[in-house]
Amino acid sequence: MEQQVSPVQAPLAYLLQLADSALVLGQRNAEWCGHAPVLEEDIALANISLDQIGQARLLYQLAAARIQADAALAAQHAHLQGARVDGALTEDTLAFFRDVPEFRNHTLVELPHRGPLASTATGDRDWATTLVRNFLYSTLMGLLWEALQHSRDADLAAIAAKSLKEVRYHVRHSRDWLVRMGDGTDQSQRRAQAALDHLLPYTREFWTPGDAESQAAANGSGVELASLQAAWDATLDAALAEATLRRAPAEGYVPRGKHGLHSEHLGFLLAEMQSLARAHPDARW
């Protein structure tokens, strides 16, 4: 008799980590709607935001289905019972009714568009900060989604294949802008360099695996992060050379957003994003 092999599932925390980062960055990019420097870029950032929120939705749907099917996981998320629709935990429950410590997104994606300012500071959105962040993060996700196409979790592999097509455009769009700003005027070059110097240290979190990532790599549903770093470095260095920007050492504290330790900025972002759903938890959209 042929032995049946149990299907591999990615750890729930891994699915939520991927979803949270996509959702939070999608929300950040959506903040440019109506504010981008030209109409074409207003539309481009809105579309990129929709891509990222769509990726988050697929991952949250998968996570919600697995929570519903597993009594132990359902018990761990019993505190979300009041936010369920007709008794079911959905992707909306996971997006709108978890609090800051439950989110596992990278710290990089929650930062405001204004550079190194406190959450209560006022300042104009900085286009360079947005586009440099998009390049740093989408380059990582291009490599990660490509690798996850071969995940032993068939559902995650399917999401990866769809997401990869989208993120390749995100990389191309942000890289074009990085080169345009870096190799442009003196002012655009200064702003691009300032954004890079501000954001690059946050990328150290990319290469510091959390428990969920280690577990996913161990069971074949995820990948070893270290295997992606050389390709990410090479892509970044090539883009910076063309953009005439310098890469300063990424030193200092390693952010721990993947462990639920966030900057003060995430709370403000979630308060705005979740307010309508929490004010009307029984509404049907």
Confidence of residue 283 (pLDDT cuts 50, 70, 90): confident
Q: What is the pTM of this model?
A: 0.92
Confidence of residue 6 (pLDDT cuts 50, 70, 90): low
Write the pLDDT tens digit of every residue in 187-226.
Answer: 999 999 999 999 999 999 999 999 999 999 999 999 999 9
Confidence of residue 285 (pLDDT cuts 50, 70, 90): low
Selecting from 3.40.50.150, 3.40.50.300, 3.40.630.30, 1.20.1260.10, what CATH number does the domain 12-114+122-279 have? 1.20.1260.10
Cα–Cα distances in angstroms (integers) from residue 57 to residues 50, 94, 132, 177, 272, in the given order: 10, 10, 25, 28, 18
Q: Which two three-digit tokens encode residue 92?
A: 């909306």
With a CB cutoff of 8 Å and minimum separation 6, the contacts of 231 are: 143
Write the pLDDT tens digit of every residue in 131-179.
Answer: 999 999 999 999 999 999 999 999 999 999 999 999 999 999 999 999 9
Write the pLDDT tens digit of every residue in 16-39.
Answer: 999 999 999 999 999 999 988 899
Low-confidence winner among 19-23, 120-124, 260-264 (lowest mean pLDDT): 120-124
Q: Say if CB 45 and CB 92 are below 8 A apart.
A: no
Confidence of residue 4 (pLDDT cuts 50, 70, 90): very low
Q: What is the pLDDT of residue 3?
A: 41
Q: What is the DSSP string of 98-133?
A: --GGG----HHHHS-TTSS--TT------HHHHHHH
Q: How far apart are CA 118 and CA 253, in angstroms?
A: 17
pLDDT at 100 over 80: yes
Q: What is the pLDDT of residue 81?
A: 63
pLDDT at 1 over 60: no
Domain borders along the chain are 12-114+122-279
Map residue 69 onto helix, strand or coil.
Answer: helix
Q: What is the pLDDT of residue 136?
A: 98
Write the pLDDT tens digit of every residue in 219-259.
Answer: 999 999 999 999 999 999 999 999 999 998 878 788 999 99
The pLDDT of 107-115, averaged and rounded, is 91
